[in-house]
Amino acid sequence: MWARIEPVSEVREERAGADVFTLTHRIWLRFRSDIRAGMRLRKGDRLFAIGTWRDPDETGRYLCCPCEEEVR
């Protein structure tokens, strides 16, 4: 599937003396009617959890999905 992945932000937190990073991305896809919040997208070994989605220009061409990268 075609996708455009744009990094958006990186948040660093300290938990139990260790640094924890949350990476957010904006992922653009060709329009699909079967995408739901809570689904995940994969690029190689990387996983992205979909928070929500929107049709940015309401033409049914693309979806823009704000996602968090899951670090394993």
Q: Considering its fold, how many domains does the chain have in total?
A: 1
Predicted structure pTM score:
0.81
- Lookup: tokens for 5: 């992945």
pLDDT, position 57: 94
pLDDT average, residue stretch 28-51: 93
With 80 as the cut, is the pLDDT of residue 56 above it?
yes
- pLDDT level of residue 3 (50, 70, 90 thresholds): very high
3-15 and 18-30 as β-strands: parallel, antiparallel, unpaired?
antiparallel
- Count H helices and E strands in the chain, helices first: 0, 5
Higher pLDDT, 59 or 70: 59
The DSSP code for 71 is P
Question: pLDDT category, 10, cuts 50, 70, 90?
Answer: confident
